[in-house]
A and B are shown apart, each in its own frame.
Chain A
Protein backbone atom coordinates (compact mmCIF):
# COMPACT_ATOMS: atom_id res chain seq x y z
CA UNK A 1 0.00 0.00 0.00
CA UNK A 2 1.57 3.29 -1.04
CA UNK A 3 0.45 6.90 -1.32
CA UNK A 4 1.74 9.83 -3.33
CA UNK A 5 3.90 12.25 -1.41
CA UNK A 6 4.82 15.71 -2.72
CA UNK A 7 8.41 15.80 -3.98
CA UNK A 8 9.22 18.85 -1.83
CA UNK A 9 8.46 16.95 1.40
CA UNK A 10 10.75 14.11 0.39
CA UNK A 11 13.54 16.56 -0.34
CA UNK A 12 12.93 18.23 3.02
CA UNK A 13 13.43 14.99 4.88
CA UNK A 14 16.55 14.26 2.87
CA UNK A 15 18.02 17.66 3.72
CA UNK A 16 17.27 17.20 7.43
CA UNK A 17 18.96 13.82 7.35
CA UNK A 18 22.10 15.28 5.83
CA UNK A 19 22.31 18.53 7.80
CA UNK A 20 21.63 17.20 11.30
CA UNK A 21 24.47 14.67 11.38
CA UNK A 22 26.91 17.25 10.04
CA UNK A 23 25.81 19.72 12.70
CA UNK A 24 26.46 17.19 15.46
CA UNK A 25 29.72 15.82 14.15
CA UNK A 26 32.03 18.68 14.99
CA UNK A 27 33.98 16.95 17.76
CA UNK A 28 34.50 13.70 19.59
CA UNK A 29 34.77 12.77 23.23
CA UNK A 30 37.94 12.53 25.32
CA UNK A 31 36.60 9.42 27.04
CA UNK A 32 36.47 7.34 23.89
CA UNK A 33 39.93 5.83 24.21
CA UNK A 34 41.14 2.56 22.73
CA UNK A 35 41.41 -0.44 25.00
CA UNK A 36 44.13 -3.05 24.45
CA UNK A 37 43.56 -6.59 25.73
CA UNK A 38 46.57 -8.78 26.34
CA UNK A 39 47.54 -11.93 28.21
CA UNK A 40 47.00 -15.64 27.80
CA UNK A 41 44.53 -17.77 25.83
CA UNK A 42 41.75 -16.49 28.08
CA UNK A 43 42.24 -13.16 26.31
CA UNK A 44 42.97 -14.57 22.87
CA UNK A 45 39.67 -16.47 22.84
CA UNK A 46 37.70 -13.49 24.17
CA UNK A 47 35.61 -11.84 21.45
CA UNK A 48 36.14 -8.40 22.94
CA UNK A 49 34.64 -6.61 19.97
CA UNK A 50 31.36 -8.38 20.55
CA UNK A 51 31.36 -7.93 24.33
CA UNK A 52 32.44 -4.27 24.10
CA UNK A 53 30.71 -3.21 20.88
CA UNK A 54 30.97 0.51 21.51
CA UNK A 55 34.67 0.53 22.38
CA UNK A 56 37.71 0.66 20.14
CA UNK A 57 39.42 -2.60 21.11
CA UNK A 58 42.48 -4.60 20.09
CA UNK A 59 43.22 -8.14 21.22
CA UNK A 60 46.86 -9.18 21.67
CA UNK A 61 46.23 -12.32 23.72
CA UNK A 62 48.34 -15.41 23.03
CA UNK A 63 47.60 -19.02 23.90
CA UNK A 64 50.07 -20.49 26.38
CA UNK A 65 51.44 -17.09 27.38
CA UNK A 66 52.92 -16.36 30.79
CA UNK A 67 54.34 -13.14 32.13
CA UNK A 68 57.39 -13.51 29.89
CA UNK A 69 55.04 -12.78 26.94
CA UNK A 70 53.83 -9.54 28.48
CA UNK A 71 57.43 -8.64 29.36
CA UNK A 72 58.35 -9.19 25.72
CA UNK A 73 55.68 -6.70 24.65
CA UNK A 74 57.80 -4.06 26.37
CA UNK A 75 56.34 -0.57 26.26
CA UNK A 76 53.97 -1.37 23.40
CA UNK A 77 51.04 -0.14 25.51
CA UNK A 78 52.72 2.94 26.95
CA UNK A 79 50.10 5.56 27.75
CA UNK A 80 47.24 3.25 26.75
CA UNK A 81 44.42 1.50 28.59
CA UNK A 82 45.18 -2.19 28.97
CA UNK A 83 43.11 -5.15 30.13
CA UNK A 84 45.32 -7.97 31.37
CA UNK A 85 44.77 -11.60 32.32
CA UNK A 86 48.08 -13.30 32.90
CA UNK A 87 49.73 -15.74 35.28
CA UNK A 88 47.55 -18.84 35.02
CA UNK A 89 50.11 -20.63 32.85
CA UNK A 90 52.92 -19.81 35.29
CA UNK A 91 51.34 -21.06 38.51
CA UNK A 92 52.49 -24.69 38.30
CA UNK A 93 56.11 -23.76 37.63
CA UNK A 94 56.42 -21.08 40.31
CA UNK A 95 58.67 -22.21 43.18
CA UNK A 96 59.55 -18.90 44.78
CA UNK A 97 56.29 -17.00 45.30
CA UNK A 98 57.95 -13.81 46.49
CA UNK A 99 60.27 -13.63 43.49
CA UNK A 100 57.42 -14.30 41.06
CA UNK A 101 55.20 -11.60 42.55
CA UNK A 102 58.09 -9.14 42.47
CA UNK A 103 58.64 -9.93 38.78
CA UNK A 104 54.89 -9.63 38.13
CA UNK A 105 54.73 -6.17 39.70
CA UNK A 106 57.83 -5.05 37.81
CA UNK A 107 56.17 -6.22 34.58
CA UNK A 108 53.10 -4.08 35.35
CA UNK A 109 55.27 -1.10 36.17
CA UNK A 110 57.41 -1.45 33.05
CA UNK A 111 54.36 -1.42 30.79
CA UNK A 112 53.96 2.30 31.58
CA UNK A 113 50.29 2.01 30.62
CA UNK A 114 47.89 4.80 31.40
CA UNK A 115 45.62 2.36 33.20
CA UNK A 116 45.77 -1.40 33.64
CA UNK A 117 42.63 -3.39 34.37
CA UNK A 118 44.20 -6.46 35.95
CA UNK A 119 42.20 -9.62 36.54
CA UNK A 120 43.10 -11.98 39.33
CA UNK A 121 44.58 -15.27 38.13
CA UNK A 122 41.55 -17.41 37.35
CA UNK A 123 41.02 -20.85 38.88
CA UNK A 124 41.26 -23.98 36.75
CA UNK A 125 40.86 -27.70 37.40
CA UNK A 126 44.64 -28.22 37.46
CA UNK A 127 44.91 -25.99 40.54
CA UNK A 128 42.43 -27.98 42.62
CA UNK A 129 44.98 -30.48 43.93
CA UNK A 130 46.09 -28.15 46.74
CA UNK A 131 42.65 -26.66 47.27
CA UNK A 132 43.71 -23.52 45.30
CA UNK A 133 46.12 -22.63 48.12
CA UNK A 134 49.03 -21.64 45.88
CA UNK A 135 47.03 -19.56 43.40
CA UNK A 136 45.16 -17.84 46.23
CA UNK A 137 48.49 -16.89 47.82
CA UNK A 138 49.77 -15.49 44.51
CA UNK A 139 46.59 -13.48 43.96
CA UNK A 140 46.75 -12.13 47.52
CA UNK A 141 50.35 -11.00 47.19
CA UNK A 142 49.80 -9.50 43.73
CA UNK A 143 46.77 -7.61 44.98
CA UNK A 144 48.66 -6.27 48.01
CA UNK A 145 51.60 -5.24 45.85
CA UNK A 146 49.36 -3.48 43.35
CA UNK A 147 47.48 -1.62 46.09
CA UNK A 148 50.69 -0.48 47.77
CA UNK A 149 52.84 0.37 44.79
CA UNK A 150 50.86 0.95 41.58
CA UNK A 151 48.34 3.77 41.24
CA UNK A 152 47.44 3.02 37.64
CA UNK A 153 46.18 -0.52 38.21
CA UNK A 154 42.51 -1.40 38.73
CA UNK A 155 42.42 -4.89 40.25
CA UNK A 156 39.41 -7.00 39.27
CA UNK A 157 39.02 -9.94 41.62
CA UNK A 158 36.94 -12.61 39.90
CA UNK A 159 38.55 -15.67 41.49
CA UNK A 160 35.70 -16.68 43.79
CA UNK A 161 33.07 -16.01 41.14
CA UNK A 162 34.31 -19.10 39.32
CA UNK A 163 34.08 -21.39 42.36
CA UNK A 164 31.12 -23.09 43.94
CA UNK A 165 31.53 -24.84 47.28
CA UNK A 166 35.30 -24.47 46.95
CA UNK A 167 35.34 -26.37 43.64
CA UNK A 168 35.57 -25.09 40.09
CA UNK A 169 32.15 -24.10 38.80
CA UNK A 170 32.36 -25.86 35.47
CA UNK A 171 29.35 -24.12 34.02
CA UNK A 172 31.75 -21.28 33.13
CA UNK A 173 34.39 -23.48 31.45
CA UNK A 174 34.40 -25.82 28.50
CA UNK A 175 37.49 -27.80 29.50
CA UNK A 176 38.30 -26.87 33.08
CA UNK A 177 40.72 -24.15 31.95
CA UNK A 178 39.20 -22.08 29.17
CA UNK A 179 36.04 -20.05 29.48
CA UNK A 180 32.84 -20.69 27.60
CA UNK A 181 30.22 -18.10 26.63
CA UNK A 182 28.94 -17.82 30.22
CA UNK A 183 32.45 -17.41 31.57
CA UNK A 184 33.20 -14.59 29.15
CA UNK A 185 29.89 -12.93 29.95
CA UNK A 186 30.91 -13.01 33.62
CA UNK A 187 34.34 -11.45 33.20
CA UNK A 188 32.99 -8.95 30.66
CA UNK A 189 30.31 -7.89 33.13
CA UNK A 190 32.92 -7.29 35.82
CA UNK A 191 35.03 -5.20 33.45
CA UNK A 192 32.05 -3.16 32.29
CA UNK A 193 31.51 -2.09 35.91
CA UNK A 194 34.82 -0.25 35.90
CA UNK A 195 35.36 0.48 32.22
CA UNK A 196 32.03 1.84 30.94
Chain B
Protein backbone atom coordinates (compact mmCIF):
# COMPACT_ATOMS: atom_id res chain seq x y z
CA UNK B 1 0.00 0.00 0.00
CA UNK B 2 1.34 3.40 -0.98
CA UNK B 3 1.51 5.99 1.78
CA UNK B 4 1.13 9.68 1.39
CA UNK B 5 4.69 10.90 1.83
CA UNK B 6 3.59 14.50 2.12
CA UNK B 7 1.69 13.68 5.31
CA UNK B 8 4.87 12.33 6.82
CA UNK B 9 6.84 15.38 5.81
CA UNK B 10 4.26 17.73 7.32
CA UNK B 11 4.36 15.73 10.55
CA UNK B 12 8.15 15.88 10.65
CA UNK B 13 8.06 19.60 10.01
CA UNK B 14 5.53 20.00 12.85
CA UNK B 15 7.87 18.22 15.23
CA UNK B 16 10.67 20.49 14.12
CA UNK B 17 8.57 23.58 14.74
CA UNK B 18 7.70 22.37 18.24
CA UNK B 19 11.34 21.70 18.89
CA UNK B 20 12.38 25.06 17.51
CA UNK B 21 10.26 26.77 20.16
CA UNK B 22 12.69 25.39 22.69
CA UNK B 23 15.82 26.46 20.90
CA UNK B 24 19.01 27.54 22.44
CA UNK B 25 21.43 27.19 19.55
CA UNK B 26 20.85 26.85 15.83
CA UNK B 27 23.11 24.96 13.47
CA UNK B 28 23.07 24.61 9.71
CA UNK B 29 25.23 22.52 7.46
CA UNK B 30 25.79 20.03 4.72
CA UNK B 31 26.54 16.30 4.97
CA UNK B 32 28.27 14.27 2.27
CA UNK B 33 27.66 16.82 -0.53
CA UNK B 34 23.97 16.05 -0.83
CA UNK B 35 22.15 16.56 2.47
CA UNK B 36 21.54 19.99 3.94
CA UNK B 37 20.37 20.26 7.53
CA UNK B 38 19.18 22.64 10.18
CA UNK B 39 19.30 21.75 13.83
CA UNK B 40 18.50 23.14 17.27
CA UNK B 41 20.43 22.34 20.40
CA UNK B 42 19.14 23.00 23.88
CA UNK B 43 20.42 22.30 27.35
CA UNK B 44 23.70 21.48 25.55
CA UNK B 45 22.73 17.82 25.46
CA UNK B 46 19.62 17.67 23.31
CA UNK B 47 19.45 18.33 19.61
CA UNK B 48 16.82 18.00 16.89
CA UNK B 49 17.82 18.17 13.25
CA UNK B 50 15.91 18.18 10.00
CA UNK B 51 17.96 16.96 7.06
CA UNK B 52 16.94 17.33 3.42
CA UNK B 53 18.50 15.93 0.27
CA UNK B 54 19.55 18.10 -2.66
CA UNK B 55 19.75 15.28 -5.22
CA UNK B 56 19.66 16.31 -8.87
CA UNK B 57 16.33 14.63 -9.49
CA UNK B 58 12.60 15.29 -9.20
CA UNK B 59 11.48 17.05 -6.05
CA UNK B 60 8.99 14.28 -5.27
CA UNK B 61 11.88 11.81 -4.96
CA UNK B 62 13.88 13.92 -2.52
CA UNK B 63 14.59 12.50 0.91
CA UNK B 64 13.95 14.09 4.28
CA UNK B 65 15.22 12.83 7.64
CA UNK B 66 14.41 13.82 11.20
CA UNK B 67 17.03 13.20 13.87
CA UNK B 68 16.99 13.63 17.61
CA UNK B 69 20.14 13.30 19.65
CA UNK B 70 21.13 13.20 23.26
CA UNK B 71 24.73 13.33 24.39
CA UNK B 72 26.41 12.69 27.70
CA UNK B 73 30.01 13.12 28.81
CA UNK B 74 31.85 11.06 31.42
CA UNK B 75 35.48 12.07 31.82
CA UNK B 76 37.20 11.38 28.51
CA UNK B 77 34.16 9.58 27.14
CA UNK B 78 31.49 11.22 25.01
CA UNK B 79 28.40 9.19 24.18
CA UNK B 80 25.68 10.30 21.82
CA UNK B 81 22.46 8.46 20.91
CA UNK B 82 20.78 9.55 17.69
CA UNK B 83 17.44 8.01 16.74
CA UNK B 84 16.24 9.02 13.27
CA UNK B 85 13.49 8.54 10.77
CA UNK B 86 13.65 9.37 7.06
CA UNK B 87 11.42 9.06 4.03
CA UNK B 88 11.16 10.14 0.42
CA UNK B 89 8.44 12.68 -0.37
CA UNK B 90 6.64 10.29 -2.71
CA UNK B 91 6.53 7.67 0.04
CA UNK B 92 8.45 5.11 -2.00
CA UNK B 93 10.56 4.13 0.98
CA UNK B 94 11.40 5.01 4.53
CA UNK B 95 14.14 4.11 6.95
CA UNK B 96 14.73 4.47 10.64
CA UNK B 97 17.34 3.55 13.17
CA UNK B 98 19.55 4.75 15.94
CA UNK B 99 23.24 5.58 15.86
CA UNK B 100 25.11 5.20 19.14
CA UNK B 101 28.29 7.22 18.84
CA UNK B 102 31.07 6.75 21.39
CA UNK B 103 34.18 8.94 21.40
CA UNK B 104 37.08 8.24 23.71
CA UNK B 105 39.79 10.85 24.10
CA UNK B 106 42.88 8.78 24.74
CA UNK B 107 45.40 11.59 24.91
CA UNK B 108 45.26 15.30 24.42
CA UNK B 109 44.68 15.60 20.66
CA UNK B 110 44.10 11.91 19.98
CA UNK B 111 40.73 10.18 20.10
CA UNK B 112 38.96 7.01 19.02
CA UNK B 113 35.45 6.84 17.65
CA UNK B 114 33.04 3.93 17.42
CA UNK B 115 29.49 4.04 16.06
CA UNK B 116 26.98 1.21 16.13
CA UNK B 117 23.97 1.89 13.95
CA UNK B 118 21.01 -0.50 13.85
CA UNK B 119 19.21 0.57 10.67
CA UNK B 120 15.93 -0.50 9.12
CA UNK B 121 15.05 0.20 5.48
CA UNK B 122 11.58 -0.58 4.11
CA UNK B 123 13.10 -2.51 1.18
CA UNK B 124 16.37 -3.77 2.60
CA UNK B 125 15.01 -4.77 6.01
CA UNK B 126 17.25 -4.69 9.08
CA UNK B 127 20.96 -3.87 8.78
CA UNK B 128 23.61 -3.41 11.42
CA UNK B 129 26.07 -0.74 10.37
CA UNK B 130 29.10 0.56 12.18
CA UNK B 131 31.97 3.01 12.04
CA UNK B 132 35.38 2.75 13.69
CA UNK B 133 37.88 5.55 13.44
CA UNK B 134 40.44 7.81 14.95
CA UNK B 135 41.05 11.54 14.99
CA UNK B 136 44.41 13.21 15.48
CA UNK B 137 44.74 16.89 16.14
CA UNK B 138 47.41 18.29 13.82
CA UNK B 139 47.62 22.03 14.21
CA UNK B 140 45.33 24.74 15.58
CA UNK B 141 41.86 23.89 14.19
CA UNK B 142 43.00 21.11 11.88
CA UNK B 143 42.27 17.48 12.72
CA UNK B 144 43.14 14.37 10.69
CA UNK B 145 40.40 11.73 10.47
CA UNK B 146 40.50 8.08 9.41
CA UNK B 147 37.43 5.84 9.50
CA UNK B 148 36.23 2.46 8.39
CA UNK B 149 32.47 2.56 7.96
CA UNK B 150 29.50 0.58 6.72
CA UNK B 151 27.00 3.33 7.45
CA UNK B 152 25.21 4.17 4.16
CA UNK B 153 26.39 7.33 2.44
CA UNK B 154 23.26 7.19 0.35
CA UNK B 155 20.78 4.36 0.74
CA UNK B 156 22.76 1.18 0.31
CA UNK B 157 25.11 -0.22 2.93
CA UNK B 158 28.71 -0.17 1.67
CA UNK B 159 32.08 -0.92 3.22
CA UNK B 160 34.28 2.14 2.85
CA UNK B 161 37.48 3.57 4.23
CA UNK B 162 37.44 7.33 4.69
CA UNK B 163 40.20 9.75 5.37
CA UNK B 164 40.17 13.49 5.50
CA UNK B 165 40.69 16.65 7.48
CA UNK B 166 38.43 18.70 9.67
CA UNK B 167 39.07 22.44 9.62
CA UNK B 168 37.49 24.25 12.54
CA UNK B 169 37.41 28.00 12.98
CA UNK B 170 35.09 29.56 15.50
CA UNK B 171 31.60 28.16 14.93
CA UNK B 172 32.44 26.82 11.48
CA UNK B 173 33.85 23.41 10.69
CA UNK B 174 34.53 22.04 7.20
CA UNK B 175 35.31 18.37 6.63
CA UNK B 176 36.45 17.17 3.20
CA UNK B 177 36.90 13.38 3.11
CA UNK B 178 38.01 10.86 0.55
CA UNK B 179 35.77 7.78 0.61
CA UNK B 180 37.41 4.66 -0.82
CA UNK B 181 35.39 1.46 -1.31
CA UNK B 182 36.71 -1.75 0.20
CA UNK B 183 33.92 -4.19 -0.67
CA UNK B 184 33.56 -6.22 -3.85
CA UNK B 185 31.10 -4.08 -5.74
CA UNK B 186 32.53 -0.70 -4.95
CA UNK B 187 34.96 0.76 -7.46
CA UNK B 188 34.01 4.33 -6.99
CA UNK B 189 36.06 6.76 -4.99
CA UNK B 190 34.05 9.70 -3.73
CA UNK B 191 35.11 13.07 -2.47
CA UNK B 192 32.68 14.01 0.26
CA UNK B 193 32.39 17.43 1.79
CA UNK B 194 30.53 18.32 4.94
CA UNK B 195 30.29 21.53 6.88
CA UNK B 196 28.58 22.79 10.02
CA UNK B 197 27.98 26.27 11.27
CA UNK B 198 26.30 27.15 14.54
CA UNK B 199 25.08 30.53 15.70
Contacts and interface: CB of A to CB of B under 8 A. Distances in A.
Interface of A: 1-5, 9-10, 12-14, 16-18, 20-21, 24-25, 27-34, 44-45, 47, 49-50, 53-59, 185, 189, 192, 196
B155 to A, nearest CB: 6
Contacts of A196: 57-58, 61
A17 B22 contact: no
Nearest to A9: B22
B94 A25 contact: yes
Contacts of A21: 66, 85, 94, 96
A62 B190 CA distance: 20
Given A21-B96, A196-B57, A28 B123 contact: yes
Given A21-B85, A53-B53, A54-B55, A1 B24 contact: yes
A4 B43 contact: yes
Nearest to A2: B24
Interface of B: 1-3, 7-8, 11-12, 15, 18-19, 22, 24-25, 34, 42-44, 46, 48, 53, 55-58, 61, 63, 66, 68, 70, 83, 85, 87-88, 90-94, 96, 120, 122-124, 153-156, 158, 185, 187-188, 190
Given A29-B92, A196-B58, A57 B156 contact: yes
Nearest to B67: A17
Nearest to A53: B154
B55 A24 contact: no
Contact of A2 (B25, B34, B70, B185): B25
Given A2-B43, A12-B18, A17-B15, 8 more contacts: A5-B22, A24-B7, A24-B11, A28-B123, A47-B188, A53-B154, A56-B124, A56-B156
A37 B110 CA distance: 42
A44 B120 CA distance: 28
B188 A50 contact: yes
A28 B5 CA distance: 11
Given A32-B92, A50-B190, A56 B15 contact: no
A5 B48 CA distance: 14
Given A16-B15, A18-B83, A24-B8, A53 B122 contact: no
Contacts of A9: 22
A56 B155 contact: yes
A185 B57 CA distance: 11
Contacts of B93: 28-29, 32, 54
Contacts of B34: 53
Contacts of A29: 2-3, 90-93, 122
B3 A53 contact: no
Contacts of B7: 24
A20 B12 contact: yes
A3 B68 CA distance: 19
User: Which of A4, A9, A17, A57 is most buried by chain B, counting CB atoms within 10 A of its CB?
Assistant: A17
Contacts of A12: 18
Given A29-B91, A44-B187, A49-B155, A13 B15 contact: yes
